[in-house]
Amino acid sequence: MFVLSDTPSLAHQFLLELRDIHIQKDSMRFRRNLERLGEILAYEISKSLNFNSLPIETPIQASTVLQPSEQPVIISVMRAALPFYHGFLNYFDRADSGFIGAFRDESKEGEIAIELGYHASPSIEERTVILADPMLATGKSIVETVNTLLAHGKPKHLHIASVIAAPEGIQYLKENLNCSFSLWLGAIDEKLNHQSYIVPGLGDAGDLAFGPKL
């Protein structure tokens, strides 16, 4: 498990701006900070991938450079993940992409259920998959998403990337995911509250990025 906030860096500035209730009012800035953190985590994930040495011709002489031996599949959990996902796509600019719509069904009191809607993705069989979802709260939406993906193929390895995570969600993934995975996080917060929102968290990432929903 990799956590950006464990090390002093500019990522702390982007996390601060995502959380601050006054800066949050600028939805364009909120989206951009999600994108920036996606870019940073994409860079960190890239260090774990396999590379090949390829020959090139420079204006001076022949040389060699390292290049990724494969391109990942990036899966975005809509809608909150879209700016975060774009950060990954900015860096893995040759990657294939997939999209899954997931939302909480809170119609039953005291129970959080996850409903999945739209699903479109390329084959993930024996591919490296990056699943981008900015908030890892209960972990249920990620488990449901992964189970949907696994019904269509088994990835070589799954990288789960989130901006902010709750300890309960991390534990839920460890207990309920039936595949090899790595976690890449911006920060780990204190806990979930009685509504299963992350504390201190930052609020509803989807609403802050795109406006309130009906």
Enumerate the domain spans of the chain.
Answer: 2-50+69-196+206-210
Q: What pLDDT digit, counting tens, does each position of 14-46 carry?
A: 999 999 999 999 999 999 999 999 999 999 999
DSSP one-letter code for 100: E
Nearest to 207, CA basis, from 151, 122, 197: 197
Cα–Cα dist 55/63, whole Å: 6
The pLDDT of residue 103 is 66
Residues in the chain: 214
pTM: 0.92
CB 121 within 8 A of CB 98: yes
Percent of the chain at pLDDT exceeding 70: 93
Q: pLDDT category, 119, cuts 50, 70, 90?
A: confident
Cα–Cα dist 50/189, whole Å: 31
* Pair of tokens at residue 67: 């290049």
The pLDDT of residue 25 is 95
Q: What pLDDT digit, counting tens, does each position of 72-104 carry?
A: 999 999 888 999 999 999 999 999 999 998 766
Cα–Cα dist 182/45, whole Å: 10
Calculate Rg over the CA atoms of the chain: 18
* Pair of tokens at residue 93: 């600019």
Q: What class is the 2-50+69-196+206-210 domain?
A: alpha beta
Greater confidence, 135 or 107? 135
Name residue 96's beta-bridge partners: 73
Cα–Cα dist 167/18, whole Å: 20
Neighbours of 6 (CB within 10 A): 11
